[in-house]
Amino acid sequence: MSKLFVIKVGGNIIDDETKLAAFLIAFAAIPEKKILVHGGGKLATRLANDLGIEQELIDGRRITNAETLKIVTMVYAGYINKNIVATLQSVNCNALGLCGADGDAITAHKRIKGAIDFGFAGDIDRVNAVSLSKLLDNHDALVFAPITHDGKGQLLNTNADTIAQELATGLSSLFEFHMVFGFEKAGVLLDAEDDNTVIASLSQGYYEELKKENKIFAGMIPKLDNAFAAINKGVRNVLIGRAEEIGLMTGGKAGTTITNGKAQVQ
């Protein structure tokens, strides 16, 4: 089974030209097939502000109204996605940019929870593994904007972390699947203030121990729970660390590797 790296990067990379350039060079250098899932960053918010479009909140939750969907489609699937693809092409990485509508890659449905209509926010139903594996056959990398579709002509705004996780569910039977979550810190830290306290390798057992001792920063718990859920679905390992250090991370020389607890060669 061939290796596939799925790497999610967020605003801290997208908004920083220098970090983004460094990351894309390191990403291109990964010899295996790879999928980049990018989030948004500040550009969409700035554009909405410039156009006088106000963010809609219901009970403190962000709503994707029609105007917001238009902006994220323009910024994420247009500006950010195509610039990343053009940069990757310039460093000899034959990338293809897409959203969930392209090739029917990811279908979703509108999120409605109880009385709250989240607008055009999508929860994923299905990842089209056949379509994606054919695209991976013919390209070095796929670049995903966090937009899906409902199969009835509607685009939907979808969380980039969730897209990365659902790609794992859809593709880990076809590939030796490695997930990487780009992060502001060097990895999972024993001391949130000290980048020198990176936990190199974290098994489920060790994680439970650390949680009991309150040594895991509360904000990390959902991220790590998701990582272990991915491992239990067949993902080989999950790497957490600075996206621009992806080269070191895939070599086991930086970041935290979340494993299934069995012996692993690093």
Site residues, a second copy (CB under 8 A): 50-51, 70, 73-79, 81-83, 85-87, 89-90, 94-99, 101-104, 131, 134-135, 138-139, 147, 149, 151-155
Smallest separation (angstroms) from a second copy to the CB of 185: 29
For a second copy, give the closer residue by CB, 6 or 85: 85
Smallest separation (angstroms) from a second copy to the CB of 33: 14
**Contacting residues for 183 by C-beta, under 8 A, at least 6 apart:** 240, 241, 242, 243, 255
For a second copy, give the closer residue by CB, 26 or 155: 155
Q: Distance between CA atoms of 254 and 183, rounded to whole angstroms?
A: 12
Q: What is the 3-state secondary structure (H, E, C) of 71-117?
A: HHHHHHHHHHHHHHHHHHHHCCCCEEEECCCHHHCEEEEEEEECCEE
For a second copy, give the closer residue by CB, 154 or 260: 154
Q: Other CB atoms closer than 10 Å to residue 200's CB: what's the count?
A: 13
For a second copy, give the closer residue by CB, 106 or 202: 106
Total residues found in the chain within this entry: 266
Smallest separation (angstroms) from a second copy to the CB of 96: 5
Question: Residues 221, 256, 85, 32: is their CA dihedral positive or negative?
Answer: negative
- Structural contact between residues 180 and 236, judged by C-beta atoms closer than 8 angstroms: no
Smallest separation (angstroms) from a second copy to the CB of 80: 9
For a second copy, give the closer residue by CB, 110 or 223: 110
Read off φ and ψ for residue 2, nearest 5 degrees: -80, 155
Smallest separation (angstroms) from a second copy to the CB of 155: 5
Give Cα separations from 216 to 126, 208, 236, 239 (angstroms): 32, 9, 22, 16
Smallest separation (angstroms) from a second copy to the CB of 136: 11
- Structural contact between residues 227 and 256, judged by C-beta atoms closer than 8 angstroms: no
Q: Distance between CA atoms of 251 and 260, rounded to whole angstroms?
A: 18
For a second copy, give the closer residue by CB, 49 or 55: 49
Q: Other CB atoms closer than 10 Å to residue 222's CB: what's the count?
A: 10
For a second copy, give the closer residue by CB, 122 or 182: 122
Smallest separation (angstroms) from a second copy to the CB of 51: 6
